[in-house]
Structure formats: structure tokens, C-alpha cells
Amino acid sequence: MTRHGGHLAQGRLSSDVLSLDRGYPRTVDTASNLHDPASRRLLDPFRFLLEWVRDPVGTAAVAPSGKALAALMIRGIDETTGTVLELGPGTGVFTHALVARGVAESDLTLVEQNPIFARLLQQRFPRATILGIDAADLSHAQTAGTGIFGAAICGLGLRSMDAMQVEAIMRAAFARMKPDAALYLFTYGWRCSVPDEVLTRLGLAAERVGATLRNVPPASVYRLAACAVAG
Ligand SMILES: C[S@@+](CC[C@H](N)C(=O)[O-])C[C@H]1O[C@@H](n2cnc3c(N)ncnc32)[C@H](O)[C@@H]1O
């Protein structure tokens, strides 16, 4: 069961996930007359705030990330990377940036636990694989292509999770990645949001790749990879 009380869904977003949001308001996309995709995205801060009010810990931010942070997060990924895993895409700020950079939509697997966001992603990225599951359950899920990813980006609020949960998520993600693949994550804190003891247990190294003040709040990006290939 998800934190929203629905059953986990695997593969392309299933009707299980679509039915999870019974009792929630329909997404604003559906209710509005805005047809231009860019105009629809103008409503994303409002959507995000609503979800944060409903579930502050799970949503972990009051607003979607900005374009500067998105550019930093996806800098090491392009059309040659192959399949890409995204954890916690929310309204899809990083996802849009990946597609704009040349990553094929069909090469994307998006893991989003919130059913409102999962349905929005399904509308926006119909060729991507959307998994409406807890990222820690990724090892049991069916994913795009071979299921072994060339890179991953993580938008989860790891700082609001305990170390065991962070370890379970990182373990599940790296188990589905190529040996030399990197995972990029951002944090609003001063240190990498994956604790040192978790990095050590998983044989990972973290490298800070940059920071941006042009985000609310300002954020840093870290690149995680297996120790032998880190750096
Ligand atoms: C801080 S928001 C970031 C959203 C987006 N990446 C961005 O930067 O605008 C975290 C997202 O992770 C999702 N999330 C939180 N915990 C999750 C989990 N255990 N598994 C999958 N998604 C999760 C939330 O629903 C939310 O969409």
C-alpha cells in the first residue's frame, strides 16, 4: 500500500494508480481551458503548494525546483546516456529538462509516489514508464527497456527520511543501474543528503558538482557513483 492508501502499480501508469486519487480534486489541467503545455505548467507552483499542505513530509518542498537547478541536475546526462531513472519527479521539472536535452521520453522511468503527480506525469509524458510506487520498492518493479539504467536523478526529500529509508532507496536504485552509472541528487543542506555511513555501506562516493542561488531555496547538486568509478 502507498502512503495514500492505494495499491502499488508497476509498468505504465495503471488504472490502479488512476483510481488512487478518488476523493482528491481533479488535476487543474483537466479542469482548466489551458491548452498550451507551457501555460499549464504555470499552475505547477499552485499544485505543488496544495500537495505540500496535504502532505508536507512526503512532498518535501513547497514549490517545484527552478530551471537553474534542473540544468545542474541533468548536466551529466544526454541522448547518449540510454535509459534514465527519475525518483520523485513531482510535476516534472527535471523530466522536461531531460527531454529538452535529447533523452527519449520512452527511455524514461519516473517513480512518483503521489498519485496526483503520477497522473499529471502520465498526461505530460505518455511514452515514459510511470511507476506509482515508493522508490524503495523499485527492485520489484518492471521498468523501461532492459531495466538497467545509464543514469538516475533523484528529486526526493531525502533529508526528511531516516537513514534506513535512504539506504533502501539508494540500494534499490543502484541495483538497477549500470556499474559505471551515476545518480544525481540535490539538497538544500550543506552536506550530501545521503549519510556517510550509508555511502560507505553501499560502496558509493559523493562528489559536489555545483550549487545554484537561483532556486528557492538555494540548492547543491551531488553526483553519486560506485567508489571505483566515482569522480
Ligand atoms: C522535493 S519534491 C521534488 C519534485 C521535483 N523533482 C522537483 O524538483 O520539482 C519530492 C517528490 O518526491 C515524491 N516522493 C516523496 N517520497 C517518495 C517516495 N518514497 N517514492 C517516490 N516518490 C516520492 C514527492 O511526491 C514529490 O513529488
Q: pLDDT by residue for the chain (231 residues), tens digit each?
A: 344 433 334 444 433 333 333 333 344 444 444 456 677 788 999 999 999 999 999 999 999 999 999 999 999 999 999 999 999 999 999 999 999 999 999 999 999 999 999 999 999 999 999 999 999 999 888 776 677 999 999 999 999 999 999 999 999 999 999 999 999 999 999 899 999 999 999 999 999 999 999 999 999 999 999 997 555
CA 131 to ligand 1 centroid distance, Å: 12
The minimum-distance atom of ligand 1 relative to the CA of 157 is 1
6 within some domain: no
How large is the C-alpha radius of gyration of the chain? Answer: 16
Q: Which domain holds residue 187?
A: 15-229
9 domain-assigned: no
CB 204 within 8 A of CB 226: yes
Within 6 A (CB) of ligand 1 lie: 58-61, 64-65, 88-90, 93-94, 111-114, 117, 134-135, 155-157
Q: What is the CATH number of the domain that holds 137?
A: 3.40.50.150
> Is residue 7, in this structure, part of any structural domain at all?
no
Has residue 203 been placed in a domain?
yes
In a domain, 1, yes or no: no
Q: Could you tell me the distance, in angstroms and rounded to a whole number, from the CA of residue 134 to the centre of ligand 1?
A: 10
CA distances from 115 to 21, 42, 75, 122 (A): 6, 20, 28, 10
Counted domains in the chain: 1
Does residue 168 form part of some domain? yes
Question: Which atom of ligand 1 lies at the shortest distance from residue 165's CA?
Answer: 19
The per-residue pLDDT for 229 is 53
In a domain, 108, yes or no: yes
Give the residue whose CA is nearest to atom 18 of ligand 1: 134
How far is Cα 111 from Cα 136, in angstroms, rounded to an integer? Answer: 10
